[in-house]
Amino acid sequence: MISKKRMFEIFERFSKSKVLVVGDLMVDHFICGHVSRISPEAPVPVVEVTSESYHLGGSSNVINNIFSMGGKVHVAGVVGEDLAGKWLMDEISKVVCDTNGIVTDTERPTTKKTRVVAHSQQVVRYDKENRDEINNEVENYIVDYIRTKLREIGAIVISDYNKGVVTKSLIYKIKQLLFETNSKVIVCVDPKKKEFEIYQNFDVVTPNHNELEQAVGREIRKEEDMILAGNLLMNRYGFKALLITRGEKGMTLFEQDKKPVTIPTVAQEVYDVTGAGDTAIGVFSLAMASGATFPEAAVLANHAAGIVVGKIGTATATKDEMERFFYKLKRG
């Protein structure tokens, strides 16, 4: 579906391409250790902590993946006025063109997911967050920021984690902005809302299996069910493409007036699927901004996701890793 020569042509354009990511900025916090006893206070394991780390999570991980692949990134989102927000702003500033699209909201905490891991198994996760929707003033600030970047960027990623930033109202305002400006910027959506009509006429939507089931309101057990569901969404909502991420089954790409194409997974070892979807949409959008076709972008996204699931925790893929991975697969 993509040759070495074509892959390198697209890679060469990465450094000249810009993507704007709108969504829920988060901190991924990992506490790692080992368990050798059960607590006498309650029937729970006692984790003896050996390490602790912080990573860019949620939409921040999408940003980090685009940066790791050599692309340029703008960001629009919200953080709280707290230590996690300060850490997030400091880290994001290292990988984006500017942080002017980030609003500091004194009324909400920065979203932080804390995972306690022992012997490579997650023991518990606890989240600090406020999932209330952002107000009209913050929405307008984000839209105004997007307006200032439209002439620079090749793609927009709407990265929804259902934490209150990607409201239906914000989506409609982004649609209106693109209509008013007659913008040809490619819009890729990582959806969390089951009402897919709000994404109508966006270029690409990338649901996983569960999100696809919610969108069509039925259980999907067989390949035929998935094909029917994908075609239904394409016909009903006018997407240019639908990319269904399917875990160990890879990805299936739907395009207008074409047969669906399934891209098998290339992951050789799976240690942790945390953030694989962020990697996929980040690389997909960067490839589209760099002139790739939908199938080419899907193949590159699939390769990148295959790399990050072989790493522990929230991770990214780089161009060098992609090249080595590509050569290894071709030799095999």
User: Please, how many CA atoms are within 13 Å of residue 222, restricted to the half-sphere of its CB?
Assistant: 3
H or E stretch covering 323: helix 319-331
What are 63's two structure tokens? 């940003």
> SS3 string of 248-289?
HHCEEEEECCCCCEEECCCCCCCCCCCCHHHHHHHHHHHHHH
- Other Cβ atoms within 10 Å of 45 Cβ, number: 18
Determine whether 278 is an active site residue: yes
Catalytic residue among 160, 257, 278, 320: 278
The Cα 192–Cα 163 span in angstroms is 10
DSSP string, 184-228: --EEEEE---S-GGGGTT-SEE--BHHHHHHHHTS---SHHHHHH
- Among all residues, which ones are annotated catalytic? 278
